[in-house]
Structure 1
Amino acid sequence: MLALTGTPVVLLTYSNLLRQSLAGAVHALGTRGPLGPRHDRPPLARRVVRSHAARQRRRLVRLGSPLRPVAADPTSATGPTLVVDEGQDLPPEFYLLARMPGARTSVFADECQRLTDTNSTLDEIARNLGRCTRRDLAGNHRNTEQIAAFAAHFHTGAGTPALPGRQGPPPRLHRFHERGAADLLILLAETRPEKSIGVIAASTHTQFSLLGSIHNRAPRLKPQLYTSQSKGGTYRKLDLGRPGIVIGHRRSAKGLAFDTVVVPDTHEDAATDPTSAALRMSSYVMATRARRELHLGYEGDAEPPLPAQVNRRVLQRGEDERLRDVRPAMVN
């Protein structure tokens, strides 16, 4: 809406994958304005200042360096409009810098979903932005009641989030044998061909292992994989508008949404203190990526400590009966 009025707008996102996810929606609204990730380009704060350096003769300032006075041109026009998504994962210093070019800034942030060490609380964001208005946005418009009830076990904020009214199947925990995660993904993709299926893995090794298994056994599914470690377009630019399997990493899960989410390797967290705020926030973020179905998996004899705490009414165990019914046909 701002861009269509002729206002210079920059929308800043947490990651390149989130930028790709939002790009289609932004362009469908009738604008092709700047849409940039936090990563994959020069550091965000330096870009914000640089964008107005030529016109307003501002000095460049880097995050992490001592803040210095910035000389502004008093005859310059009003600064840009910044819209920041997932603002809790930017450091407090960024919001001091956002004031320097005279930017009008809107920040969307949830401090219960912090995933980095360089993060900000809501109070820090408001204090560093200066005089601003804070509004609470309540309600869950993505998940079903069953998924939200499961995610609430890992919520770190005050109080319990209100549950949505939309209904769906309960989340399910699977004990995987060798290649069991690939079995589940192939089954989900074959039985739900019109749905998006997001895989949130703990390691790049798991990502490529799943990709290889699916390519070898069901190449017709054409799974996609994203990794920020890729140097070229392969595994970096995805078509998120089509249904099917997208294999991502936990670091890239922020802000995304899929019809079905599979977290295949919760056993990777077995050695982490289940009361850790970082682990609980990570689990909350991953669970709430799912619009309708959520599947968790582990390898080994014992359930990982974190999901083991969730009762069977909220987190069911074993294979979904609907999937079991179609397995003989899938084997053929």
Structure 2
Amino acid sequence: MNKPNQPIDVVYTWVDDGFPGYSDALQRYADDPRDSDPNRTRDNLETLRYSLRSVWQHLPDVRSIYIFSCRPQVPSWLDTSHPNINLVHHDEVIATRYLPTFNSFCIVSHLHLLPGVSRQFLYFEDDVLANSDDLMDAMFTPDGHPWVHLESRKVVPHCKLDTATASPWNLSLANADNALTKRFGAKARRHIIHGPQILDCDLLELMCREFPERVEATRNSKFRSGDNIPPEFLARHLALETGAASLAPSALSNKVQGYASVENLRLWTWYQINRINRRKPMSITLNDSFGDTPNPKVETMVKKQLETWFHDPAPWEFPA
């Protein structure tokens, strides 16, 4: 079995725009309709709850679970006194000059500063779920070296993007690719998968030292912006360039990634979930693509599926 050479924590980034005051604060700073996209801040499916259940079910060797969120948010069902749970608020780690932040790139760029976090940790966005007892093995080579899991799609170079219409995500990928090209030379670089990745505190720190202007621009942006970099992408490719990690075989990355875009069209969402049930990937990502108004029938269908996958409460949940 492939095991890491040291203890491993799981780290989540999570917010819920249903908490009082959050949406008001967001609107005070938003100046682009994309900044107010609820797909990135909504927790209507309680995927964090089920993701934590999935970790308890499939990743029993994890040492601790970190949840990085903005003050004063705490899930109502979560017992933060449980010894395996570390809930850390942004203002405990992120400098005051960057707060409040609604930029996931800014938040991820601080994960290596979480107090006591393991040097290598498994990064989960809050819509990612473990779906196999073999998932941790798929994160490491037989000698304990971390894999980097990439998709088959190539990153689009900045020169081929229309900066007026391209999304901040695609522009940020191009920025990261440009930074890596200047440092290590040009090559075709691929997207990271939609799913878990091993991040390394030393590599995140190296990223901040190697690309300080890019990191500072990212941290100064309240929302994702065209001059940002995505740390989860840049740090993973930096690990490959420096030999700190190895490129995973495509067949293994395909087994790890299980992606579904959860949309208001019920039949399409049902098809994607059914495909996951047939494929049985090692992880599941349920990407919120509902738009402004989720379809209640789709919400009910997906919640029933989550309950089927991960029915048993984890020991850090308060009794219902």
Whether TM-score is above 0.5 comes out as: no
Q: Of the two structures, which has the highest relative contact order with CA contacts closer than 8 Å and spacing of 6 or more?
A: 2
TM-score in terms of structure 2 length: 0.28
Q: Which has the larger radius of gyration?
A: 1
TM-score relative to the length of structure 1: 0.27
